[in-house]
Chain A
Amino acid sequence: MDEYEPNIIGFLCNWCSYAGADLAGTSRISYPTNIKIIRVMCSGRVDPAFVLEALKKGADGVLVSGCHFGECHYKSGNYKANRRIKLTKKFLEEMGINPNRVRFEFISASEGNRFAEVVTEFVDELKELGPLSLQLIQ
């Protein structure tokens, strides 16, 4: 059997993290293919419902990434995202889902290598956790 490959949905803010992911490409830094990116204007746009929906619809992990604190293009969206994701993780834990399946990161437009590192790390971590089965909670 092929090795288990986790499916990751990433929500990246347009100004920092999406640009950082682009930079990884421009710099030709390779990383696992497991991540598929949805571009949002700001990490503050990420509704906790998106995270839950992603897990429900088949993702094994969700990455939300925004600008570093103090550098949000929209002043404070990353602070909000940080709080919302923390809460979401708590909720997941209550529901019996390992909260490490959701990850919040700060990746700036100049941190292409950081983006690749985060994805690589996250894939390894999710492989460790194995596929997400929602049978338990249904």
Chain B
Amino acid sequence: MVKIGVYVCECGINIGATVNVEEVAEKAKDFPDVVVSRYYKYMCSDPGQELIKQDIEDLKLDRIVVASCSPRMHEPTFRAVVEDKGMNPYCLEMVNIREQVSWVHKNIPVGTEKAIALVRSAVLKAALLQPLQKKKVDVTPTAMVIGGGIAGIQSAIDIGNMGFKTYLVEKTPSIGGTMAQLDKTFPTLDCSACILTPKMVDIARHPNIELMTYSEIESVEGFIGNFKVTVKHKARYIDVTKCTACGDCTENCPVVEFDEYNMNMTNRKAIYIPFPQAVPQKYTIAKLDEYSPCKVTCPANNNAQGYIQLIGVGKYKEALELIRDKNPFPSVCGRVCHHPCEEVCKRADIDEPLSIMQLKRFAADYNRINKEDPPLVIEPSKDEKIAIIGAGPSGLSCAIRLLEEGYSVTVYDESDVPGGIMTSCLPSYRLPVDLAMYDINRLLDQGINLIKNTKVGKDISFEEIQNQYDAVFVGIGAQLPAVLEVEGSDVSGILQGMTFLKEAKKGIKSPEFGEKIIIIGGGNVAMDCAKVALRMGGKEVSVVCLETRDLALKDRMPADIWEIEESEEEGIIFYNELGPRKIISSKGKVTGLETMICTSVYEEDGAFKPEFHDDPAPEIAGDTIIFAIGQKSDLTGFEALETNPGGRTIYIDTITFQTSIPSVFAGGDIIPGIPSVVNAIGTGAEAAISIDRYLRKVDIKEGRVRDITKIDVVRLDKEKRPRMKMNRAPVEERIKDFREIDLGYSEEEAVQEALRCISCSICSECMQCVETCEAEAIVHDQQHEFVELDIGAIIVATGFDSFDPTTKPEYGYGETPNVISAMEFERLVSASGPTTGHIEINGKEPENVVFIQCVGSRDKEGHEYCSRVCCMYTAKQAHMVRDKLPNSNLTVYNTDVRAFGKGFEEFYNRVQAENINYLRRELDDPISVVGNEEGVIVKAEGHPDIHADLVVLATGLVPREDSKELSRLLNINMSADGYFLEAHPKLRPVDTFTDGIFLAGCCQSPKDIPDTVAQASSAASRACNILSQKQLEIEATVAKVDESLCRGCAFCVESCPYSAIEIKIVEQFGHTFEVAHVNEALCKGCGSCSAACLNGAIYHQGYTDNQILAQIQALGEE
């Protein structure tokens, strides 16, 4: 029989107010095995503890139940009490009647009733408790400090000085925190940087401190003395062992970002060092993990953001080089690209997308006209020879990439002019032949052999080519017209679109071409045919197509919107949702088209399946009909290659572009996909990578499928500025001949347009830094690193955020430049700030300065607490203004000046005496700051209006935005105000409820620098308490196996997250059995195995099935 003692704590009125502890104690006397039951005012106090000890001695108690606060609070206390009297500490059971009863229930009868039920459940469990032996574990004598502000710096130095290895983890590229941004500190007016930077340098030099900047906590596992912390070391894209902090890179970086160090009042570059005294002295490239949509949407992977940024800073040659890196046809794609990049440009979220294609055209034209673009001749360095069949965009794109790799490349083309559709089809008003030839010739001049007038399959066999070359790329395009059978088409006056365009390009006009032209088709080729027909002398040009003009619908015309709009502008007539039924003719010549109404074009899955109905449809008069319903490839001679179903396109692997013959690759319009120049360029370049890998005999697929996340959110709030207008040839003029429609941007227009780019991913990867860095320290493909560290104790010193005053519109912050926050004032007044310490607003020294206190603090609807530092920093800031602008008028609106610290009151008196007008106002009284032409008017109730040219808001301190996330990672609590919660507000002010994790500085609550430093040292000392012990006692509540019940199924082995269980062989009665065995040193006591065990053979000591079932029984029965 056990002897149980029950002790109910009143906790002053904390429990006593809503739980009748006397009644609870009285009722407990009737519970089974209870020998004694008492209540006391403070059970955790010495007399309370004595009470328990005395009873253990007198009554020979062997089980104790204490009903008080949470076991997370005082379980260690009461365990020590029973242990002191020789009882096993695990024979104690606690009942939480404070946090989970009295503090949450307001009614004495129900609170008491619940407390009684819980005590009864604990008594039933207590009867079943077994004595357990505590385990000892080794302590890892290493600390981690999270946060590199003054708190973290102090803690790290203290622990390091005690001789323990310390990791200091800082999220930003430099340590220093908020203190590094302050000008002077109150009340002594020390220069903040002067007292901080020596400590920062100490950190860098300290033999025991390992600094991990630009790093974040990824995960935390384990327990006191034995944490396993994974730190994410964010890529700086800099090899820090090589960076000499010379700063040459910054000068050449085109990307301009707000400077956070200067509170966004100035700009910095994408490659930067946060401030001159930063530790470590290493540069960082700000680059987001997600990709800029323009770049990853481009089928040729062209870095639009990069060349746009370069154009913005006048580096046109560099811009063109960057374009050519991925796209060898800038003159062409600057004119005819279907530019999917512009569809996804995030600038559209602000106003309109960038005019990316036209900027590319500008870069190409500018350098061509200024002759700054000479081709670089490449001599092949490798033995392998490659044949490219087809000198179109895909073929030449593939060719130049292979030439760059050192291969000898020969291109075969059937025509006498290379370029494929670029030179043969695309109308000259869009792409003049000489410009296409400029790009093409430049490539050929680099060292590509071209064999003209040779059709593979006719002049030379495909087999012969394969025999002569080590690898082949097929990019013959799709230049044959697709033919549609329409009744009555065996008459004169019928032309095929592709043939028509080709002849027109050469200046040939078919004798069958008349005056009233009907184009059949709704794609870009149809639009080209229509506009060309107009320019060839067509008097009336109509387009008939199945699809609808509404481009938002699934049955939309496939042509690009600008093609349609231009056609409409030029007077082309559209007949939408009609299909050709019959060609009407007279005397063997076309006279018109009979149509039928099309009700649906595409099925839901996008398959082309037009449906018509029989209602009467218009008849269109015309003497010429041009079919522009698509094009196909001439695959004659390539029968050895497998085709896709339908036989129109070549089968390829969609990643490698390898065909059914391993040495043959294909791209451009002969493979499935949307026909476009830029797609062809992209496929050619990808095929080139495959060919190179194929010839080098390495895996051609590996690493080529990337996980790409596009940037979805615009980072910056920019002023609206629509895209630069493109000058175009007037309609009435341009339709007379084939002159270019778009006239291109001037240099100034191009720069203005380029400056609209919001640089989505920050760094644009323009590679200018790589060019400039002599130390070769730039590593653009650096990856984030994850480091797992064994840590004994952790100090959290993550600091605070400043209150955002835009949430309080009455202060006019953000509305007028004359209102600034306290942190902005700190930078303004600092010698290292944007104005090198001159107090000026809009370039003018202010005459009237008003400080408003308690902005965002002491607010019953928001942050109810006092931020503790604002009164004194305001006094300091007022003093700074008085010091620098002796004739200014200074007013401080305050509610209560809280000058509570050492030297504070004296400082406040001194500042007041400097002719600074302290005006008192009630916090709830209305106050407003309204901008006008001369500055602002500050209206405070009970005071005359003040005209001011500078208003400084004493913005309060708020918890870090990400503190919730960190609290979860570390398993520490947050108080209602959002700061991290200390284990006890009075007696354990730097501990958390998770043993081994401590708090320092403003992450716990707002405080000034001296308090922060004191708390940091205190946390360091608490951490060293742990680190200095070789071994720690830890919970004995580990799993144990009853071998007589175990059937060796190993379910527990699977369920154990620590691999603490294994199957071993035992011998019983001459037989061998497999049973589970727990390695107690590895077991962390979660009890998961016990829940998995079907036999109840493995049990969680302290939480056994029987013990918990007893609790359930008690709680269920009431």
User: Is chain B found bound to chain A in the same assembly?
Assistant: yes
Contact with B along A66-90 (1 / 0, CB 8 A): 0110110111110010001000000
For chain A, the bracket of interface size reads: 35 or more
**Nearest opposing residue in chain A for B971, CB measure:** A15
**B1086 neighbours in A (Cβ, 8 Å):** 41-42, 44-45, 73-74, 77
- Verify B1100–A58 contact, CB threshold 8 A: no
**B408 neighbours in A (Cβ, 8 Å):** none
B1115 in complex: contacting residue of A27, A49, A59, A108, CB < 8 Å: A59
Residue A47, interface by CB 8 Å: yes
**B976 neighbours in A (Cβ, 8 Å):** 27, 112
**A37 neighbours in B (Cβ, 8 Å):** 96, 100, 118
Assuming the contacts A74-B1057, A109-B993, asked whether A54 and B1112 have C-beta atoms less than 8 A apart, the reply is: yes
**A70 neighbours in B (Cβ, 8 Å):** 219
CB of B676 to closest CB in A, whole Å = 43
- Verify A19–B104 contact, CB threshold 8 A: no
**A125 neighbours in B (Cβ, 8 Å):** none
Q: Which residues of chain B in 712-770 are interfacial with respect to chain A, using CB atoms and an 8 Å cutoff?
A: none
Q: Which residues of chain B in 1086-1103 are interfacial with respect to chain A, using CB atoms and an 8 Å cutoff?
A: 1086-1088, 1090-1092, 1100, 1103
Residue A50, interface by CB 8 Å: yes
Assuming the contacts A18-B72, A44-B1088, asked whether A24 and B104 have C-beta atoms less than 8 A apart, the reply is: yes
Contact with A along B168-206 (1 / 0, CB 8 A): 000000000000000000000000000000000000000
Inter-chain CA distance A44–B797, complex, in Å, is: 32
- Verify B100–A77 contact, CB threshold 8 A: no
CB of B76 to closest CB in A, whole Å = 14
Residue A63, interface by CB 8 Å: no
A33 in complex: contacting residue of B110, B964, B1037, B1108, CB < 8 Å: B110
Inter-chain CA distance A107–B98, complex, in Å, is: 20
Inter-chain CA distance A30–B1058, complex, in Å, is: 38
Contact with A along B113-133 (1 / 0, CB 8 A): 110011001000000000000
Residue A116, interface by CB 8 Å: yes
CB of B106 to closest CB in A, whole Å = 6
Inter-chain CA distance A15–B1100, complex, in Å, is: 17
Residue A130, interface by CB 8 Å: no
A71 in complex: contacting residue of B110, B118, B968, B975, CB < 8 Å: B968
Inter-chain CA distance A50–B1115, complex, in Å, is: 12
- Verify A38–B1115 contact, CB threshold 8 A: yes
- Verify A19–B993 contact, CB threshold 8 A: yes
**Nearest opposing residue in chain A for B1091, CB measure:** A47
- Verify A80–B971 contact, CB threshold 8 A: no
CB of B852 to closest CB in A, whole Å = 31
- Verify B1057–A77 contact, CB threshold 8 A: yes
- Verify B105–A45 contact, CB threshold 8 A: no
Contact with B along A27-61 (1 / 0, CB 8 A): 11111010011111110111111100110111100
Assuming the contacts A36-B1115, A54-B1112, asked whether A42 and B99 have C-beta atoms less than 8 A apart, the reply is: no
CB of B259 to closest CB in A, whole Å = 33
Residue A135, interface by CB 8 Å: no
CB of B704 to closest CB in A, whole Å = 30
Residue A110, interface by CB 8 Å: yes
Residue A9, interface by CB 8 Å: yes
- Verify A22–B72 contact, CB threshold 8 A: yes
- Verify B971–A50 contact, CB threshold 8 A: no
**B1037 neighbours in A (Cβ, 8 Å):** 41
Contact with A along B952-986 (1 / 0, CB 8 A): 00000000000010011101111110000100000
For chain B, the bracket of interface size reads: 35 or more
- Verify A57–B1113 contact, CB threshold 8 A: yes
- Verify A40–B100 contact, CB threshold 8 A: no
Assuming the contacts A26-B103, A27-B975, A33-B114, asked whether A75 and B221 have C-beta atoms less than 8 A apart, the reply is: yes
Inter-chain CA distance A67–B72, complex, in Å, is: 16
Inter-chain CA distance A71–B219, complex, in Å, is: 8
CB of B480 to closest CB in A, whole Å = 57
Inter-chain CA distance A80–B1051, complex, in Å, is: 13
- Verify B1087–A116 contact, CB threshold 8 A: no
**Nearest opposing residue in chain A for B1035, CB measure:** A41
**Nearest opposing residue in chain A for B1092, CB measure:** A80
Assuming the contacts A22-B96, A47-B1105, A80-B1055, asked whether A108 and B111 have C-beta atoms less than 8 A apart, the reply is: no
**Nearest opposing residue in chain B for A24, CB measure:** B104
Residue A23, interface by CB 8 Å: yes
- Verify A47–B221 contact, CB threshold 8 A: no
- Verify A36–B118 contact, CB threshold 8 A: yes
B1116 in complex: contacting residue of A28, A44, A54, CB < 8 Å: A54
Assuming the contacts A7-B1116, A9-B1112, A25-B104, asked whether A38 and B1084 have C-beta atoms less than 8 A apart, the reply is: no
Assuming the contacts A36-B118, A59-B1116, asked whether A109 and B972 have C-beta atoms less than 8 A apart, the reply is: yes
Inter-chain CA distance A59–B1113, complex, in Å, is: 9
- Verify A42–B968 contact, CB threshold 8 A: no
Residue B70, interface by CB 8 Å: yes
- Verify B968–A58 contact, CB threshold 8 A: no
**Nearest opposing residue in chain A for B967, CB measure:** A110
CB of A75 to closest CB in B, whole Å = 4
**B113 neighbours in A (Cβ, 8 Å):** 33
Inter-chain CA distance A47–B1105, complex, in Å, is: 9
Inter-chain CA distance A40–B1105, complex, in Å, is: 11
Residue B71, interface by CB 8 Å: yes
Inter-chain CA distance A71–B974, complex, in Å, is: 16
CB of A29 to closest CB in B, whole Å = 7
Inter-chain CA distance A54–B1116, complex, in Å, is: 6
Inter-chain CA distance A53–B1109, complex, in Å, is: 8
Inter-chain CA distance A47–B572, complex, in Å, is: 76
**B100 neighbours in A (Cβ, 8 Å):** 21-22, 25, 37
- Verify B1091–A45 contact, CB threshold 8 A: yes
B967 in complex: contacting residue of A26, A44, A108, CB < 8 Å: A108
- Verify A77–B1088 contact, CB threshold 8 A: yes
Residue B457, interface by CB 8 Å: no
Assuming the contacts A40-B1108, A41-B1103, asked whether A74 and B99 have C-beta atoms less than 8 A apart, the reply is: no
Assuming the contacts A21-B100, A36-B118, asked whether A109 and B1116 have C-beta atoms less than 8 A apart, the reply is: no
- Verify B1088–A57 contact, CB threshold 8 A: no
Q: Which residues of chain B in 1064-1097 are interfacial with respect to chain A, using CB atoms and an 8 Å cutoff?
A: 1084-1088, 1090-1092
**A22 neighbours in B (Cβ, 8 Å):** 70, 72, 96, 99-100, 973
Residue A16, interface by CB 8 Å: yes
A30 in complex: contacting residue of B99, B106, B1057, CB < 8 Å: B106
**Nearest opposing residue in chain A for B103, CB measure:** A25
Inter-chain CA distance A108–B104, complex, in Å, is: 18
**B1085 neighbours in A (Cβ, 8 Å):** 41
- Verify A28–B72 contact, CB threshold 8 A: no
Inter-chain CA distance A48–B1112, complex, in Å, is: 13
- Verify B1108–A50 contact, CB threshold 8 A: yes
- Verify A108–B1088 contact, CB threshold 8 A: no
Inter-chain CA distance A37–B968, complex, in Å, is: 22
Residue B416, interface by CB 8 Å: no
**A30 neighbours in B (Cβ, 8 Å):** 104-106
- Verify B1103–A109 contact, CB threshold 8 A: no
**Nearest opposing residue in chain B for A56, CB measure:** B1116
- Verify B1105–A110 contact, CB threshold 8 A: no
CB of A79 to closest CB in B, whole Å = 10
B1087 in complex: contacting residue of A28, A41, A58, CB < 8 Å: A41
CB of B770 to closest CB in A, whole Å = 38
| In the complex, the 9 A-B pairs of residues with the closest C-beta atoms, listed nearest first | A57-B1116, A25-B99, A45-B1087, A58-B1116, A74-B1086, A44-B1088, A25-B103, A42-B1086, A75-B1057
Residue pairs across A and B with Cβ atoms less than 8 A apart, 14 shown, are: A19-B973, A22-B72, A26-B103, A26-B981, A28-B103, A29-B104, A41-B1087, A45-B1086, A45-B1100, A53-B1116, A54-B1116, A58-B1118, A71-B971, A116-B104
Binding site for B on A (CB under 8 A): 7, 9, 14-16, 18-19, 21-31, 33, 36-42, 44-50, 53-54, 56-59, 67-68, 70-71, 73-77, 80, 84, 108-110, 112, 116
Binding site for A on B (CB under 8 A): 70-72, 96, 98-101, 103-107, 110-111, 113-114, 117-118, 121, 219, 221, 964, 967-969, 971-976, 981, 993-994, 1037, 1055, 1057-1058, 1084-1088, 1090-1092, 1100, 1103, 1105, 1108-1109, 1111-1113, 1115-1118
